[in-house]
Structures are given as C-alpha cells and as structure tokens.
C-alpha cells in the first residue's frame, strides 16, 4: 500500500518541539557572530514632506555604528523606468508599477504612510538601537492625508507628483452608473449593495526578519521569506548586483500567509546597509513595526448587483471593485484581477460584468494575504446570493443548488475567463447540509425566533470555487539524488514555512522509490544549493513542487533500472522495483535482489540524480462548501461561531494530516475576518490598531472545533490529481461566518452587516432595523 | 538563576528582558518574541513552575529562581515529554514559532488542571496566539495529553543539574 493518503506525522516536529526552529533571529552562524543590529526610523506621519534629518545626536549615542538615510544611498542603480504602457498595470503586472508610482527604499523627500522607513540606525545591540533611533530628528511638513478609498477617488490630494489622479489602474467600465444595465433586463428581481472587504494585517507569528553579510564580494542574506529565489532576483535588481554574487537563505520561517513573498523594501534596505557599511547586520522587526510595516491584505470595496427570477435562477451579476492598494502599488494592483477572474464563483450565471479601480492612499501598502483576491471574490458573490435569496424569499441553500455549475459541465468555461477543471459543487453543498443537520438547524432557529430568545441562531453558507497555482506555467523545480548508502536528498524550489514540505516530499519519494522517509532529506531555501525555483504561494506547492519531486523520482527510477540491469546481469525489462521493501529484483526470482545502496553505489561517479521542472498547462480549481452556525446575543450584538462544517475538495489528498491542518488554519483566519479583525486608520491616516493589544487576532477561546468532511475529486491537470489546499479555509469560512451572523438577525429586518461583525456593528444594525421597521 | 536544571549567572544591563537573557546569554532560542504587548505568548516559559511570558519579566526579576524552557522538557528529539509527543501526534504545530510557548502554557495548564474540558483548554490558552493551526489540533493535543496522564510528568527538569545549556541540539543553519 502506498504511503500517500495516509496519516503520517511530520518529520519537522521533533526539532521544532524540543529545541525550537531556527528562525532568522535564532541564527548563530559564524558570518553573523559579530553582527550589529539594524533599527528603522519610521515615519510617524501619514503624508508629509521631509525638510530635514538631523542624526547628530544619534551618532553620539552609545553603541551607534552608523545612521543612514537616503543621502547615503549613492551606490544604487537608478529606479526602473516607467513602463511603456504608461503604468497601467492590469493583467500580469504584479510587480511595482514604477515610473511616477515608484517606491523608493529609504524615503527620499516625502513619506506616504505611517511606518515608511526614513532612516536606519546600526548599533552594537538591540536596545541601543531603540534608544538611538529615537534621537534621529526628522523635520516633517505635513500634507493632507488620503486615509481611505473615498478620499483617494475624490483626488483633492494626490500622493504622487506627475500623476493626474490617485487611481493607478482602471480595468473595465468602473464606477457608479457604469456597466451594461441591459444585462439585468430579464430579471424579476435586482438587488444592489455596496459592501466592504476590510483591510487585514497578516500577522505571521514571526514578523519580518533579515540578516545580511557582505564578504569577499558576495552578499549573503538570510531572510524570513516564502521564496528564496525570488528574493535573490529582487535583491539583485534593487542593489545592482549580479545574482550569482548573492546567496539567499530562508531558514525556518514562522508563517508567511502571502506577506513574505520575496523580500520587501525594509529587507532590501538592511541588505544594502550591510554592504554599504561592511558590517554584518541583523534585523527582526517588533510587532508594532510589523503591523504598520508589513504589507496588509484585502482592502476592497465591492459594489455588487445581482438579478434573477423569482423562482431562484440568477441571470446576471456585476462586481465593481475599488482596491485600496495603500501608499504604493505593489501586488495590491494585481489582486482585483484575481477577484474579477473568480467573481462569478461556482455559479452558472450567464451574464457577468466586472470592473475595477486600484487607488493609492496614505496607508500601508497592500499585498497578498491568504487567498489574495479570491476570498474577496467569494465574499462578494456569497453575500450577493444571500441578498438575492432573501429578496425572493427562498432558502439560500436552495438558491445555491439551483445555480451551481452542474457536475456534467466540466471542464467549465466561466464567463470571467477561467476554465474550471473538475468539480461536483452540488455534492459538496449537499454533504455539508446533511452533516450539519441543516433541516434541524433551521427548525431550532425557528424555535428561538418564536420564543424571542436573547441568543438567536444563524446559519451561514458559502459555496466556492477558487484558483490555485494561478501561475501554473511558472512551474517548480526539484532535484533528487540517491546516494551510495541508499539515502536520498531532495532539493526543492518550493520553500516551506509551516506547510510540512519535508514530510510530504519524503512521502512522495518513499511512494515512488521505496526509500523510507527516514532516509530522505529535503532541502529548500538556499539559492547556492537551489539556484532555480519559485517558492510557496498561491497554493501551488504540491501540484507543482510535489509533482516535480515525483517526476525526478520517476527519472531516477529509470536510471536505476539500467544500472541494476548491469549490476544484476539481467534485462531491464525483467527488473522490478518493490516499493514496499525498496529493493530491485528480477521478476519471478525474489532471491535475486539488490538494495538502493547497491544500485546507487554501482552507478559510480555518474550517480543517480535527476532534475525536473514541472509546469502545469493551466491552474487548478478546488471547490467546496462551508456551513457556519453562529449565536448572536441580540441585546449586546455579540456574535459567536459555535459550529463550522466544511467540504474542501482539492483533488487527491497526499497527506490528510497536512491538508486538514491547512484547512483548520484557514478557517480560523476566515472566521477572524468575519468576526474580529480590521486594520483601522483614523481620518489623518494614523493606524489605530498597531499592536496586538488593539488588533484582534482570534484566540482559541473564540473558536469551536471544526467539522471537516472529506471529498476528493482529482484534477486531470497534473499526474498526482492534486489541487491546492492552502487558502480554501479563508475563502470559504469568511462569507459563511458573515452570512451566519446576518442570518441570526435577519428576522429583525437586518439584510447586511459589514465585516468585521463586531458587537457594535451588529447591535447598531439591529437598532437601525428596529427604528426603520417602527417608522414604516 | 537555574535554567532547565543548570545554574547560569551573568551580569546584564538592568533592563534586559528575561526572554533576551534566555536567547542571547543562555543560548536558548526556542522561546520567541512575537509581540511587544504581552499578547502572543510565544515567549512563555515556566518560572518556579508558573507559566510566565518572559518578555514581561526582567532577567533580574528571575534572579535566584528556577526557569524551565521547552528545551528543558525533553532530553532530546527521541525522548519527548508527553505534551510534545501529543503535539506531534495531533499535528498541533505548523510553522513552529508559537510552539515552544504553547507547549509550556499547555504543560502549565495540566499542572493546574489535569483533566480539563475542551472549553477549559480553550480559555486557558487564550493568551497564546497561533496563526497557523486554528487551534483545532492544539486543543486536541492538550486533551489527548491529559487523557494520557501528561500532568503526572513533572514539568521538566529532564536534565541533571550539570546540563550544558549551550549544548542544546541545533540544526545547522
């Protein structure tokens, strides 16, 4: 029996549990033995001109090695020129826009968000850095702040000289009154609503951390990143170095969630400073820095319009997005492209329109956060479907069932341009309804409503389809070596930060070659050892990196067959590999067998080694349904999730343990967005949730145990039949939970509450509905 | 102070936090710093048997006291404490950053309440944040450890008094 699909505990865990991981700040390597500490001086003002920087007092402070500002950055290449299309961004333009929108490293003559790096202080130890940074005196001439998307669109204050508005990208016919309204002509019912998908902070438990050493013409950068190779590419470009002169190492990484793709501005500054001063440096940000300096996620406003017939058929849907991308258009400019691509979700709606604008504001830049554009799409359509269901007075489960793409329509070309590979969306919905006891839940809800209970029950649904490995053509690398002692080493371009690649990749090798997992070493995240690779994001690892490992193993197996034939003086066609025992034998003659050590040793200097770069012909499309049950105290507005039942079908499951863990974590983050989390700015652009005392990370006490149902519909896009599972949780759980909270109070006249559905908001919605009802 | 059964003494600046003393002086880097508001619990250790956020205590305040970190729970990767074993068996960790603190908080919980309910586990771990697991498997691990009698395993001190603190096994970087 193959080890694939079985519950294998992780090989990573003993070290993590007994000695802790080796995160960047834990590194005790010789190159960093005398490393100094880097501390940033950050802007305390959202929008201002810098009129002077006086670092003289800081220079005199104990332990100060250097205080560096943009004036010291005279050894950098010029910033990239404006793109030829005028910086319009759009499809396939995930990198910073450049041109007038270009983002500097250290601030040049103005700051555009609270937390923007202005200077960097180098000291012998970390406490000295905190002290000295406070002594750097920066003169700011405040400018009016563009704190929110509305002000950005109004355009009274522009962030970037040389631009005509704060709208960096416009795709489609966007804005109020735009779009083709004739698409809704045949509808009995049309519902329109503007909803917020609020700004979130990713908050990996390990913040950003970088160490850097410049020695012998080579720059070594240890960075807490999801992608060592992308980090090297970015470093080479920003610092004007040959990539061959840079080594990037990703040691253990304490969570990323999309916010550690590559290396960002602050990390580039630290690497530059190490080279500039010749002193090895360490930087590990504080949480207060992290909450304003690390990119945020989501931050979309959706104008939704949905129409259909009174018997439940949805005929037309329009999604108009305003993406607040923060102070600089980084990946945030790309997110609404993914939202638009997945706008219609799992429904067979004939008429779909999408449009979006990307605006800049004096806030922290936006980037990927677990789901990256797809949770936003699902949140919009799932709210729209519930609003439509409420309007026609039909059970929201029934409306979904009527409109889900039927099982016999795959591959299904969506009107948004995606080709959904495989799926059975109705089965996923029915499975959660049955497991949750939907009918009984509705009956209990009715009883509580009848009695007028203080604790009302809400049932929320979300059916979704999402896109994983959106950059399927980018592929992923693997190199596999079987050594003379029969052990194996895997070099993978896919860089783990908690997902369990070491375990899963070893399972794949054992499955294919019969070399026990314990004899398989997995190495990732070192560009000297693995120069080519992409890394971990977009739920791409298993379907690209995992399949690459499998491909390399198959290649090694065929090499081994030739070597074994020579060794055993048998015909290749007579040889077979027993993957249970990990031995080569002559078919029909079990006595004649050789181990992997025998075969690899016989291969001599040629060795048994294979490389693979696996690309997919197109992305894959996992799907599922989530059902959330919430209790809402209608006197206080406090909502509590009491059950969460899900089907998350990501094709064939290689490691149930790891797949479930991904679902659990994603669900918690989704519930957190629905109930608690929001990165808030005041009207001056000051962040007011910049510590973990203010930003409400969800805790164990606020969650139930989750009820996970299994479902495996293999994809045909890759030989393992696998799709991505990393982001399903946030995609399904967020709208299911929001819908549950609203459902709990819908009988009181509430049709919508924006996320997070805090007690204040829920209570206000109930009160407003009561007043509105009383006045009618 | 006594750390994981061994004596360690050093002269440090008066403002040195216990977590930085453990990491920079004692060379025990498992306890992590995850916030600056005593919210996340990644730095949780035991001081005189009580779970303490070591970012909230000065090293000087631990003078003469007995500190146990996750490195002191087991004598090596092959001889894990029942709580560590339960965390592995239930897949209660992913990136591992919160794990040392979470394990120590869980050990402390069972020392106080050997047979907690699920709700009691969830409430007790409220001060330890995890961003990866959704807590689902952490709660299962603590309940499983309780069922297996983990509370009977004394919080730590697997090492004898002569333990070499710096010898804690590390992976090569």
Residue A138 belongs to a domain = no
DSSP structure string for A545-561: IIHHHHHHHHHHHHHHH
Q: Are A616 and A448 in contact (CB under 8 A)?
A: no
d(CA A219, CA A248) in angstroms, rounded, equals: 8
**B170 pLDDT above the threshold of 50:** no
**Residue A194: strand pairing partners:** A303
Determine contact, residues A457/A446, Cβ cutoff 8 Å: no
pLDDT of residue A90: 37
Distance, in angstroms, between B51 CA and closest chain A CA? 17
A241 and A189 in a common domain: no
Q: CB A205 to CB B34 under 8 A?
A: yes
Q: How far apart are CA A225 and CA A211, in angstroms?
A: 12
Q: Round the average pLDDT of chain A to a whole number and report it.
A: 95
**Portion of chain A with pLDDT greater than 70, in percent:** 97
Decide if A375 touches B, using CB distance below 8 A: no
Q: Specify whether A711 is located in the same domain as A657.
A: yes
**Domains B2-74+155-165 and B82-152 fall in the same CATH topology:** no
A99 pLDDT band (50/70/90 cuts)?
Answer: confident
CB contact under 8 A, B96 and A16: yes
Q: What is the pLDDT of residue A84?
A: 52
Mutate one of A20, A248, A495 to test the B interface: name it (highest B CB count within 10 A): A20
pLDDT digits (tens, 9 = 90+) for A557-582: 999 999 999 999 999 999 999 999 99
Domain total of chain A? 4
Q: Which residue's structure tokens are 């006291």? A: B65
Considering only CB atoms, which chain B residues are within 8 Å of A286?
A: 36
According to CATH, what is the number of the domain B82-152?
Answer: 1.10.150.120
Q: Evaluate if residue A183 carries a pLDDT over 60.
A: yes
**How much is the pLDDT for B156?**
46
Same-domain check for residues A263 and A344? no
Q: What is the mean pLDDT of residues A458-476?
A: 97
Mean pLDDT of all residues in A530-544? 96
A308 domain residue, yes or no: yes
Burial per residue of B48-70, b for 16 or more beta-carbon CB atoms within 10 angstroms, e otherwise: ebebbbbbebbbeebeebbbbbb
Write the secondary structure of A220-279 as one string of H (helix), E (strand) and C (coil).
EEEECCCCHHHHHHHHHHHHCCCHHHEEEECCCCCCCCCCCCCCCHHHHHHHHHHHHHCC
Distance of alpha carbon B20 from alpha carbon B16, whole angstroms:
7
**Which is nearest to A393 in space by CA: A595, A618, A191?**
A191
> Rounded mean pLDDT of A243-268?
97
Q: Please classify residue A476 by burial: count the beta carbons closer than 10 Å to its beta carbon, then call 0-12 exposed, 13-18 middle and 19+ buried.
A: buried
CB under 8 Å to A466, separation ≥6 — which residues?
A342, A371, A374, A378, A539, A621, A622, A623, A727, A728, A731
Helix axis angle, A656-675 to B136-147, nearest 10°: 120
Q: Are residues A747 and A770 in the same domain?
A: yes
Structure tokens at A60: 């005199």
Q: Each residue of A4-19: pLDDT tens digit?
A: 999 999 999 999 999 9
- A674 confidence band (pLDDT: 50, 70, 90): very high
Name the region of A257 (left: φ>0; alpha: ψ -120 to 50; beta: rest): left
Per-residue pLDDT tens digits for B6-49: 999 999 999 999 999 999 999 999 999 999 999 999 999 999 99
Given a cut of 70, whether residue B168 has pLDDT beyond it is: no
Token pair for A100:
């007038």
Judged by CB atoms closer than 8 Å, whether chains meet at A669 and B131 is answered as: yes
Residue B52 bridge partners (DSSP): B45
The continuous run of DSSP H or E covering A522 comes out as strand A520-524
pLDDT tier for residue B161 given thresholds of 50, 70 and 90: very low
Instruction: Strands of A295-350 (E only): list them.
Output: 297-308, 314-324
In this predicted structure, the answer to whether residue A466 has a pLDDT above a threshold of 90 is: yes
Residue A81: predicted pLDDT = 56
A661 touches A641 (CB < 8 A): no
Predicted pLDDT at B76: 66
Chain B CB contacts of A25 below 8 Å: 23, 29, 32-33
Could you tell me what percent of chain A has a pLDDT over 90? 92
3-state secondary structure A299-311: EEEEEEEEEECCC
- Identify which of A666, A671, A689 has the alpha carbon closest to the alpha carbon of residue A755: A671
If asked whether residues A308 and A282 sit together in one domain, one would say: no
Q: Stretch B145-150: mean pLDDT, rounded?
A: 89
Inter-chain touch A19–B169, beta carbons under 8 Å:
yes
Same-domain check for residues A392 and A517? no
Find the mean pLDDT for residues B89-98. Answer: 98
Contact B89, B141 (CB under 8 A): yes
Judgement on whether residues A480 and A600 belong to the same structural domain of the protein:
yes
Residue A136 lies inside a defined structural domain of this protein: no
Tell me which chain A residue has its CA closest to the CA of residue B96. Answer: A16
Q: What is the pLDDT of residues A482-521, one digit of tens each?
A: 999 999 999 999 999 999 999 999 999 999 999 999 999 9
What is the average per-residue pLDDT within A372-395? 98
Owning domain of residue A568: 472-614
Q: Which of A18, A27, A668 sits opposite B76 (nearest CB)?
A: A18
Annotation: CATH topology of B2-74+155-165: Ubiquitin-like (UB roll) (3.10.20)
A316 and A450 in a single domain? The answer is no
Is the same domain home to A507 and A627? Answer: no
Same domain, A311 and A170: yes
pLDDT value at residue A102: 87
Q: Residue A416: which of A331, A334, A347 has the closest Cα?
A: A347
Q: Do A17 and B169 touch (CB under 8 A)?
A: no
Q: Is the pLDDT of residue A356 over 50?
A: yes
Q: Among partner residues A205, A703, A706, which is closest to B131 by beta-carbon distance?
A: A205
Distance between CA atoms of residues B77 and A463, nearest Å: 43
A80 occurs within a structural domain: no
Of A240, A272, A294, the one marking the end of a domain is: A294
pTM (2 d.p.): 0.95
Its sign, for the CA torsion A537, A542, A546, A550, is negative
- Long-range CB contacts for residues A235-240, cutoff 8 Å, separation at least 24: A235/A263, A235/A268, A235/A271, A237/A77, A237/A80, A238/A76, A238/A77, A238/A105, A238/A268, A238/A272, A239/A76, A239/A77, A239/A268, A239/A271, A239/A272, A239/A275, A240/A75, A240/A76, A240/A77
Q: What residues does A476 pair with on adjacent strands?
A: A614
A86 falls in which pLDDT band (50, 70, 90)? very low
Say what the pLDDT of residue A94 is: 36
Contact A254, A205 (CB under 8 A): yes
Supply the angle between the helices B82-89 and B99-112 in degrees, to the nearest 10: 120
| Secondary structure of residue A318 in the 3-state scheme | strand
Domain boundary among A294, A315, A350: A294
- Option in A14, A664, A703 nearest B137 (CB): A664
Q: What is the CATH number of the domain that holds A626?
A: 3.30.365.10
Give yes or no: residues A749 and A763 share one domain. yes
Residues A753 and A762: their CA atoms lie apart, in Å, by 7
Mean pLDDT calculated for residue range B62-75: 94
- Residues A197 and A209 reside in one and the same domain: no
The whole-angstrom distance between residue A62's C-alpha and the CA centroid of its chain comes to 41
**Whole-angstrom distance, CA of residue A746 vs CA of residue A448:** 13
- The answer to whether B97 contacts A29, with C-beta atoms less than 8 Å apart, is no
Residue A1 CB-density burial (10 A; 0-12 exposed, 13-18 middle, 19+ buried): exposed
Residue B58: strand pairing partners: B17
**3-state SS, one letter per residue, for A667-720:** HHHHHHHHHCCCCCECCCCCECCCCCCCCCCCCHHHCCCCEEECCCCCCCCCCC
User: Is the pLDDT score of A775 beyond 80?
Assistant: no
Last residue of a domain, one of A294, A321, A336: A294
| Residue ranges covered by each domain of chain B | 2-74+155-165, 82-152
CB A357, CB A323: distance < 8 Å: yes
Q: Distance (Å, rounded) from C-alpha A699 to C-alpha A735? A: 19
């Amino acid at each position: 029996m193959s080890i694939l699909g079985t519950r294998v505990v992780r090989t990573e865990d003993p070290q993590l549990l007994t000695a802790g991981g080796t995160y960047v700040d834990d590194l005790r390597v010789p190159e960093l033995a005398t490393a100094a500490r880097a501390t940033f001086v950050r802007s305390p003002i959202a929008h201002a001109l810098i009129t002077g920087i006086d670092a003289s007092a800081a220079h005199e402070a104990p332990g100060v090695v250097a205080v560096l500002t943009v004036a010291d950055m005279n050894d950098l290449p010029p910033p990239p020129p404006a793109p030829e299309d005028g910086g319009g961004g759009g499809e396939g333009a995930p990198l910073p826009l450049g041109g007038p929108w270009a983002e500097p490293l250290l601030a040049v003559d103005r700051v555009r968000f609270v937390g923007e790096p202005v200077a960097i202080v180098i000291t012998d130890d970390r406490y000295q850095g905190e002290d000295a940074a406070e002594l750097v005196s920066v003169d700011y001439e405040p400018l009016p702040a563009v704190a929110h998307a509305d002000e950005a669109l109004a355009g009274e204050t522009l962030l970037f000289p040389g631009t005509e508005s704060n709208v960096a990208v416009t795709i489609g016919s966007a804005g109020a009154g735009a779009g083709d309204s004739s698409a809704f002509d045949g509808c009995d019912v049309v519902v329109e609503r503007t909803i917020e998908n609020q700004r979130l902070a990713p908050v990996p438990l390990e913040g950003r951390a970088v160490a850097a050493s410049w020695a012998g013409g080579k720059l070594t950068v240890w960075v807490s990143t999801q992608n060592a190779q992308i980090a090297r590419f970015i470093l080479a470009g920003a610092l004007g170095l040959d990539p061959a002169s840079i080594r990037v190492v990703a040691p253990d990484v304490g969570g990323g969630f999309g916010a550690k793709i590559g290396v960002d501005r602050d990390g580039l500054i630290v690497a530059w400073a190490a080279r500039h001063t010749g002193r090895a440096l360490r930087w590990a940000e504080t949480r207060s820095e992290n909450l304003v300096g690390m990119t945020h996620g989501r931050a979309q406003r959706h104008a939704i319009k949905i129409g259909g017939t009174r018997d439940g058929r949805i005929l037309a849907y329009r999604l108009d997005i305003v993406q607040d991308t923060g102070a600089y258009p980084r990946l945030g400019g790309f997110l609404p492209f993914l939202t638009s691509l997945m706008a219609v979700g799992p429904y067979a709606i004939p008429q779909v329109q999408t449009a979006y604008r990307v605006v800049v504001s004096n806030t922290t830049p936006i980037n990927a956060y677990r789901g990256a554009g797809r949770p936003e799409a699902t949140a919009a359509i799932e709210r729209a479907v519930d609003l439509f269901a409420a309007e026609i007075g039909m059970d929201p489960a029934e409306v979904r069932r009527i409109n889900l793409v039927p099982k016999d329509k795959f591959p299904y070309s969506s009107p948004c341009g995606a080709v959904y590979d495989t799926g059975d969306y109705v089965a996923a919905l029915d499975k959660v309804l049955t497991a949750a006891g939907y009918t009984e839940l509705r009956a209990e809800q009715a009883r509580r409503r009848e009695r007028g209970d203080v604790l009302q029950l809400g049932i929320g649904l979300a059916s979704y389809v999402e896109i994983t490995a959106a950059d399927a053509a980018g592929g992923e690398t693997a190199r596999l070596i079987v050594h003379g002692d029969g052990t194996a080493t895997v070099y993978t371009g896919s860089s783990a930060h908690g997902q369990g690649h070491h375990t899963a990749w070893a399972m794949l090798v054992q499955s294919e070659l019969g070399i026990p997992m314990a004899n398989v070493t997995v190495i990732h995240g070192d560009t000297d050892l693995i120069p080519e690779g992409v890394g971990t994001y977009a739920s791409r690892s298993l379907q690209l990196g995992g399949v690459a490992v499998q491909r390399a193993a198959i290649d090694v197996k065929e090499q081994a067959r030739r070597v074994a034939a020579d060794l055993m003086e048998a015909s290749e066609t007579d040889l077979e590999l027993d993957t249970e025992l990990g031995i080569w034998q002559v078919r029909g003659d079990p006595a004649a067998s050789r181990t992997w050590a025998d075969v690899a040793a016989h291969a001599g200097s040629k060795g048994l080694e294979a490389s693979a770069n696996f690309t997919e012909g197109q992305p894959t499309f996992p799907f599922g349904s989530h059902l959330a049950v919430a209790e809402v105290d209608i006197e206080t507005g406090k909502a509590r999730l009491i059950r969460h039942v899900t089907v998350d079908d990501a094709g064939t499951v290689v490691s149930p343990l790891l797949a479930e863990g991904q679902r659990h974590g994603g669900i918690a983050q989704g519930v957190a967005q629905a109930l608690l989390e929001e990165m808030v700015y005041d009207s001056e652009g000051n962040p007011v949730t910049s510590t973990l005392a203010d930003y409400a990370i969800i805790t164990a006490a606020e969650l139930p145990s989750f009820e996970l149902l299994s479902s495996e519909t293999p994809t045909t896009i890759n030989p393992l039949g696998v799709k991505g599972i990393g982001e399903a949780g946030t995609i399904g759980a967020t709208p299911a939970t929001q819908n549950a909270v609203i459902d709990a109070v819908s009988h009181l006249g509430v049709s919508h509450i924006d996320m997070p559905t805090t007690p204040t908001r829920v209570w206000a919605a109930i009160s407003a509905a009561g007043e509105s009802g009383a006045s009618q | 102070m006594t750390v994981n059964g061994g004596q360690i003494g050093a002269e440090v600046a008066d403002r040195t936090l216990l977590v930085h003393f453990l990491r920079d002086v004692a060379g025990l880097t498992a306890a992590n710093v995850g916030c600056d508001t005593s919210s996340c619990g990644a730095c949780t250790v035991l001081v005189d048997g009580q779970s303490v956020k070591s970012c909230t205590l000065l090293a000087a305040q631990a003078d003469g006291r007995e500190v146990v970190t996750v490195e002191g729970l087991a004598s090596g990767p092959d001889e894990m404490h029942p709580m560590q074993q339960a965390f592995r068996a239930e897949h209660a960790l992913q990136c591992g950053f919160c794990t040392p603190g979470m394990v120590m908080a869980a050990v402390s919980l069972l020392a106080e309440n050997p047979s907690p309910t699920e709700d009691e586990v969830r409430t007790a771990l409220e001060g330890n944040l995890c961003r990866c697991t959704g807590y689902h498997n952490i709660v299962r691990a603590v309940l499983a450890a309780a069922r297996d009698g983990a509370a009977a395993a004394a919080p730590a001190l697997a090492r004898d008094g002569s333990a070499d603190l710096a010898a804690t096994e590390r992976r090569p970087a």
